[in-house]
Amino acid sequence: MSVFDVSIKNLSVPNLKLDTSDESNLSNRVVSEKESRRRWLNYAKANDLEKEMLLLFAKYDKLMRNCTNDKERKDISKLGCVEFYKLLGAGGELFVDGQLVMKDS
């Protein structure tokens, strides 16, 4: 084993906070739902929140499956975003579809 061999499991990355008020920190790229879920689950695993995240996915998947109209779907979506926001620590303002849904004081 050389000096340059590094165990990835032993690397630590600081918990970085992004300033979302600065548009240069935001991306216009939209990823698929599958990719988004994969990324959120990876984040949840790293923060010991995997079980809670999977339960929220299941809860809102079931609600959306049983939903019959678009207005209700949008409201369910906003409620789901609020729950995910709270699970991930909240802090600041949450906008969904350009509307302020939640603001922490």
pLDDT band at 6 (very low <50, low <70, confident <90, very high): very low
How remote is the C-alpha of 66 from its chain's centroid? 23
Q: What average pLDDT does the segment 15-35 reach?
A: 75
pLDDT at residue 98, as a whole number: 83
10 Å Cβ neighbour count for 46?
11
With a pLDDT cut of 90, the percent of the chain lying above it is: 43
pLDDT score, position 76: 92
**Per-residue pLDDT at 3 exceeds 50:** no
The contacts of residue 68 (CB under 8 Å, 6+ apart) are none
Structure token pair of residue 62: 């079931």
Residues 75-93: b if buried by 16+ CB within 10 A, e if exposed: eebbebbeebbebeeeeee
Q: Tell me, what's the pLDDT at 16?
A: 57
Residue 15 — very low, low, confident or very high, per pLDDT cuts 50/70/90?
Answer: low
What lies within 8 Å, CB to CB, of 96 at 6+ separation is 77, 78, 81
